[in-house]
């Protein structure tokens, strides 16, 4: 290692791939094929663990085997507003029962196990949310040091209550939390810490992080079959960076759920830029929103590893958005009708499930595959109070009139909860535009065509047709 490294921004970025590879113990070069193509399946197998092995690893630290609950009262409410014969049964996988209180414990469990196995002294995670708490919790159980790099403040030193709550949770589990302002500083500082400490990069986007979620999809399928004797018609997954969709869908596939729709749900924050100092605090959700869901779907390799294992367009059957106000409303419904006080991440999908259940047959089963713990900063009240302080109007009315960053509209009736469909073909075309830019408009090889057909869950003919338009 260079004893006098260049710590300028340009110097650190020039060696980012070497730093990242050293910090995860994976030689990503071995998976590269031609041009933009790489062997995704081989990379996933590199995690080196079967589903049964992952389950055993997770049992060591009390991860997984979370309960599945039927939401009887929410289903009754859906049927009050649905057409005759409609109103699917709603179930929730209560991932808040994991250590650290979210499904992210599944991701962290395998990453921390791998770090311990490879002899790393500690782990580092760059996150503003539940994943940091999960890594801190799993590190404590494995006897590893833990650093969480958290994007927390804007230039006015203001921070959302939800992000502050998550930072508090990381510290409670013994992590050192490095709190930064919004912008490129986070990734720069993250790389420096990886290089200086020689810790393991417990990234959300390694094969280990994704393999840890596969047990969630597999467990869910087992539980639904035991409860109702058939597979779920749809599984709703709160979509941000793509890992939740990818891991859950892969688990459902391994369980043989061939006819189950994999549906992503995000909070609509269109018009807000996540790296903008002005916009950073004008969103009331730190994850599960379009500011992550769309960019990571259309170009996954913007992550903190050379090749991202979270690739949502390979797995999504449908993708919808809901508004901020609808999620706040659903959070209150869940608590007051079902007696479950849970945080906003899972309630994003629950809002989508409520709307879609109204359109589905009564004997269909729709599953929300996660809940998260809640705490003082995650409740609707502090988040809405903070929004008001920033001049965002909070009012009751029609959710479709919401403008992210300007207002939050709480529904007046559950019948107003709806979903807005995102055109997956448009996201796939956006992906191809980025490929065309990477290749300078050059032709695709047969290997690249096959890769992109799998990557976009389509045919080589579709890729050829739309790549030609993207390149033009």
pLDDT digits (tens, 9 = 90+) for 309-341: 999 999 999 999 999 999 999 999 999 999 999
C-alpha closest to that of 267 among 340, 335, 346? 346
Q: Is the pLDDT of residue 471 over 70?
A: no
The mean of the pLDDT values for the chain is 94
More confident residue, 2 or 146: 146
Quick: pLDDT tens for 31-68: 999 999 999 999 999 877 999 999 999 999 999 999 99
pLDDT at 360: 98
Q: Is 100 helix (H, G, I), strand (E, B) or coil?
A: helix
For the record, the structure tokens of 167 come out as: 């930072």
Write out the H or E segment, with its range, that includes residue 252: helix 243-254
What pLDDT score was predicted for residue 184?
A: 76
Cα separation, 96 vs 15, whole angstroms: 38
| Whole-number Å distance between alpha carbons of 235 and 71 | 15
Of 234, 257, 253, the closest CA to residue 90 belongs to 234
pLDDT above 70 for 248: yes
Residue 318's φ and ψ, nearest 5 degrees, are -145, 160
Name the burial class of residue 314, with classes exposed (0-12), middle (13-18) and buried (19+) by CB atoms within 10 angstroms of its CB.
middle
Q: What is the pLDDT of residues 109-121, one digit of tens each?
A: 999 999 999 999 9
CB 431, CB 457: distance < 8 Å: no
Q: How many angstroms separate the CA atoms of 425 and 313, rounded? A: 10
285-to-71, 79, 139, 417 alpha-carbon distances in Å: 24, 29, 26, 18
Strand order across the beta sheet in which 176-181 lies: 176-181, 145-153, 122-126, 200-201
**pLDDT per residue as tens digits for the range 383-427:** 999 999 999 999 999 999 999 999 999 999 999 999 999 999 999
- Determine if residue 440 is left, alpha or beta; phi over 0 gives left, psi from -120 to 50 gives alpha, anything else beta: left
What is the C-alpha to C-alpha distance for residues 245 and 428, in angstroms, rounded to an integer? 16
Whole-model pTM: value is 0.96
Q: What is the pLDDT of residue 21?
A: 84
**Residues 169-198: what's their mean pLDDT?**
91
* Per-residue confidence (pLDDT) for residue 3, from 0 to 100: 63
Residue-level pLDDT at 187: 87
Minimum mean pLDDT among 2-16, 146-160, 256-270, 271-285: which range? 2-16
Region 344-350: mean pLDDT is: 96
Q: Which long-range contacts (CB under 8 A, 24 or more apart) does 460-468 make?
A: 463/432, 466/428, 466/429, 466/432, 467/432, 467/435, 467/436
Length in residues, the chain? 472
User: Residue 24 belongs to what H/E stretch?
Assistant: helix 16-24
Q: How confident is the model at residue 446 (pLDDT cuts 50, 70, 90)?
A: very high
Mean pLDDT (whole number) for 7-20? 89
- Tell whether the model's pLDDT for residue 4 goes beyond 80: no
**Residue 421 confidence (pLDDT):** 98
Collapsing DSSP states into helix, strand and coil, what is residue 393? strand
Question: What's the CA angle centered on 253, arms 36 and 462, to 5 degrees?
Answer: 40
- Give the up-direction half-sphere exposure of residue 121: CA atoms within 13 A in the CB hemisphere: 5
2 pLDDT band, cuts 50/70/90, is low
């Amino acid at each position: 290692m260079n004893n006098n490294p260049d710590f300028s921004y340009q110097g650190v970025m020039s060696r980012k791939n070497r730093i990242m590879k050293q910090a995860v113990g994976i030689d990503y070069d071995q998976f590269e094929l031609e041009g933009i193509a790489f062997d995704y399946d081989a990379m996933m197998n590199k995690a080196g663990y079967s589903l049964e092995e992952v389950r055993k690893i997770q049992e060591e630290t009390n991860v997984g085997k979370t309960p599945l609950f039927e939401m009887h009262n929410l289903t009754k409410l859906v049927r009050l507003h649905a057409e005759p014969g409609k109103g699917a049964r709603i179930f929730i996988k209560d991932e808040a029962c994991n250590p650290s209180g979210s499904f992210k414990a599944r991701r962290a469990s395998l990453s921390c196990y791998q770090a311990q196995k490879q002899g790393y002294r500690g782990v580092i995670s760059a996150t503003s949310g539940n994943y940091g708490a999960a890594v801190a919790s799993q590190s404590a159980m494995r006897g590893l040091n833990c650093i969480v790099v958290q994007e927390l403040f804007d230039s006015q030193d203001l921070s959302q209550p939800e992000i502050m709550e998550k930072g508090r949770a990381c510290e409670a589990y013994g992590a050192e939390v490095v709190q930064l302002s919004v912008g490129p500083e986070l990734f720069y500082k993250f790389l420096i810490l990886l290089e200086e400490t020689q810790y393991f990069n417990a990234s959300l986007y390694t094969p280990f992080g994704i393999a840890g979620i596969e047990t969630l999809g597999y467990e869910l399928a087992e539980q639904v079959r035991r409860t109702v004797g058939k597979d779920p018609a749809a599984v709703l997954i709160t979509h941000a960076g793509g890992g939740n969709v990818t891991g859950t869908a892969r688990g459902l596939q391994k369980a043989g759920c061939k006819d189950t729709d994999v549906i992503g749900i995000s909070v609509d924050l269109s018009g807000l830029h996540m790296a903008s100092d002005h916009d950073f605090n004008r969103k009331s959700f730190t994850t599960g929103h379009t500011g992550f869901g769309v960019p990571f779907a259309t170009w996954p390799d913007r992550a903190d590893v050379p090749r991202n294992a979270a690739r949502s367009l390979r797995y999504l059957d449908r993708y919808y958005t809901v508004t901020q106000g609808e999620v706040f409303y659903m959070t209150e419904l869940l608590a007051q009708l079902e007696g479950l006080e849970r945080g906003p991440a899972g309630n994003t999908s629950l809002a989508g499930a409520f709307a879609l259940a109204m359109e589905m047959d009564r004997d269909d089963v729709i599953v929300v595959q996660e809940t998260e713990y809640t705490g003082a900063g995650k409740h609707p009240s502090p988040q809405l109070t903070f929004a008001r302080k920033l001049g965002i109007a909070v009012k009751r009315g029609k959710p479709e009139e919401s403008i992210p960053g300007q207002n939050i509209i709480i529904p007046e009736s559950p019948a107003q909860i709806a979903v807005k469909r995102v055109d997956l073909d448009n996201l796939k075309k956006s992906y191809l535009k980025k490929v065309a830019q990477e290749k300078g408009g050059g032709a695709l090889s047969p290997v690249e065509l096959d890769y992109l057909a799998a990557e976009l869950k389509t045919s080589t003919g579709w890729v050829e047709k739309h790549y030609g338009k993207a390149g033009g």
